[in-house]
Structure 1
């Protein structure tokens, strides 16, 4: 696994006349510069929208194409605090993580600038939310699944302190020109104020990918990311979204349908019918079993990401693992949302805030 932490000396950058700590690989942009690059954040340049904010395609003065993510919350966080958190993210370098190249912190504006990835996201391409000429044969899907697993294992087990992503999903997996997957939006929870209405400190996820303990109790751990990865893995193998309400009710939830096929000994039914010559059915069924292992109801039964990588690559035998029934959060009715304030607490936040997947097709 090709990865490293960027070694560097802190330098000083000046924003709005104030010296702030920043990284020597991260450029400070002015708000005016990014407005011009995106044509005033025009709808024509909008790439997508997710739980953390909207993303726009931009062209810088030197003609470089970038993806500009405007964070949704109007932050009261000071510039120094923002850059302190940003520095931690910008120092994280891995083949399967998106690269942060710049930012803006002027007044209430908090904007991140990333490398633009021309092949957009898995949600936009593989899962059919937009036209794509990419041929997702089996070897390409293996590369994507294993790459995402490597990136998530790096965040969980090689970063200190570890980073819990909180929103692993198809729209946060971007593809470069070689179809190498890049995880986006990692570490963004650090950059937002605790009272941001679009992401609470308890839940910042997407229905269909949410682990039950995270959705219902706000309990966030590495295992909640692993649950989300398991759902994503099922999507990659099957080529279908985790939920489709146009299907018969018993087939609407991908995870439930996969479990039924597993119980019936017919797991191969879940493999994308569009896969052709290079399909390895045994390997595809192994991937589906790993997805089910990751989505088990009991957190303690889910494997860590290092073992997930080993199972996907064949280094660890999946057949020796006992798979128990997964838990599915099917709709908002399954989640207890409490917007009432506690006695004496004038600024308590909602217990659970869930972001919608419907428009999340961003790059990043």
Structure 2
């Protein structure tokens, strides 16, 4: 609005009258002048401080934004966006989070939000997103900056995995010094807790539970090795990385050691130290981990399920500190009963447990080429589950089971054993590829 002349005159008159009023007050009270001076100086100082604070805040925001942009470019953020917007990306479900999203979700990476053990691969935080959904935020350690494209390829690959026994990768953040990975959050305990943890889990796993968990874990690893479009090696299969939900359904977690996260020598050494007892012995001569390395680690997990003992325990005698050597020698010397968990062994399942022990020993052979593939392991474990189910059913219905057993004998006489095995293997393979 344009100020009219009469408005200007009225404002001048107003200020003139106010000046006369102030001067009259000062004449009447000599302290009023000092009060006005002090108030004026105070207001000026506060205004200056506030202005400086605002300028610093603006400068910090600009610096943070610039740094976020540098990290985003260094970590391949632009490449990731380009890949997501390109052809063939319609089936890729991965979200790109900002650094502010992650700070808010983890309450500034508060220590109280840390989940479980901090291993050689970094720290996992419980995060709460704005929609109140809960996620697990993986803050990895510094890696090889020359393998950004490989990292992005594998992020896109893992984001497409939708296996019921694999913790799903939801997205990542590229604006931090090292990329953050965001996974689905599983309200659960670990297999380690159930086997070796607090008393509340001590007697919760029957042999049927343990065999089911073994099959689910084996199936998930087999899926990663073969059913995914590119083979994914976990490299850190152990009981601490196997989550169990309220229904005792197993989910493989923590891909921090997988091919998803490139590592330098120091990081890999930290991972090795954190995986003692599970690490493929061939690594010490080849310095390489492959699919058969996961097979070895799974074999150790299977030994833990059978024995209820830790993979590495310095409280045991020198010759039995490593569960693998202890387990293998007990098997060869027909002393397996000495290390089988008393909570699972009974007259009905001795044969199944012995077969499971044989599979575990095969998985932990020194030479990787002599170990079975994970698909073969799944097939053999599925065979054990059929036996276990049959025994349990025959105990409840002895007359019917006798008739069924006779039918099976006649069937077996007309078919080779290899055909029966192939049938089971095909079923197991179908389950692996479905995975959901």
The CA deviation string for residues 264-308 of structure 1, in whole angstroms up to 9 with x for no partner, is 212122221233779722212211111101111122221111111
**1:71 correspondence with 2:140:** yes
Q: Which residue of 2 aligns with 1:37?
A: 105
**CA-to-aligned-CA distance 1:184-229 (integer Å, 9 cap, x gap):** 23486444345363127x9797211111111332132221111111
SS in 2 for 1:198: helix
Q: Indicate how the Cα distance of structure 1 residues 35 and 196 shifts in structure 2: closer, same or farther if over 3 A, else same.
A: farther
Unaligned runs of 5+ in 2: 1-71, 387-416, 418-436
Matches for 1:225-240 after TM superposition, within 5 Å: 225-240=294-309
The alignment of Structure 1 onto Structure 2 pairs a total of residues equal to 304
1:27-66 Cα distance to aligned partner (Å, 9 max, x none): 2222222222222222222113223211111222222121
TM-score by length of 2: 0.62
Counterpart of 1:101 in 2: which secondary structure? strand
3-state DSSP of counterpart to 1:109 = coil
Q: Counterpart in 2 of 1:310?
A: 379
Contact 2:192 2:240 in 1 (8 A): yes
1 CA distance for matches of 2:291 and 2:326?
25
RMSD across aligned positions (CA): 3.2
- Matching residue within 124, 146, 167 for 2:236: 167
Q: Map 1:31-110; keep pairs closer than 5 Å.
A: 31-47=99-115, 48-73=117-142, 76=145, 82-110=151-179
More strand per residue = 1
- Separation in structure 2 between the aligned mates of residue 273 and residue 250 of structure 1, nearest angstrom: 22
Q: Tell me, yes or no, if the aligned pair for 2:144 and 2:264 is still in contact at 8 Å.
A: no
**Would the aligned equivalents of 1:89 and 1:187 in 2 still touch at CA under 8 Å?**
no
| Residue 315 (structure 2) aligned to one of 243, 246, 253 | 246
- Structure 1 stretch 171-180 or stretch 228-237: which is displaced more? 171-180
| Bigger relative contact order (CA 8 A; separation at least 6) | 1
CA distance in 1, matches of 2:145, 2:216: 36
Higher helix share: 2
Counterpart in the other structure of 1:264: 333
**Structure 1 contact 149–305 (Cα < 8 Å) conserved:** yes
- Once residues 29 and 278 of structure 1 are traced to their aligned partners in structure 2, the CA distance between those partners, rounded to angstroms, is 55
Residue 327 of structure 1 corresponds to none
Can you list the C-alpha shifts for 1:237-279, whole angstroms capped at 9, x where unaligned? 1112111111222332211221222122121222212337797
Aligned residue number for residue 26 of structure 1: 94
Cα distance in 1 for partners of 2:287, 2:161 equals 26
C-alpha displacement of 1:231 = 0.7
Distance 1:252 1:57 in 2: 34
Q: Please, which runs of 5 or more residues in structure 1 have no aligned partner?
A: 1-14, 321-364
Do residues 128 (structure 1) and 190 (structure 2) align? no
Please state whether the residue corresponding to 1:314 is helix, strand or coil.
helix
d(CA) in 2 for partners of 1:29, 1:139 = 41
- The aligned counterpart of 2:215 is 146
**Residues 1:301 and 2:370 are matched in the alignment:** yes
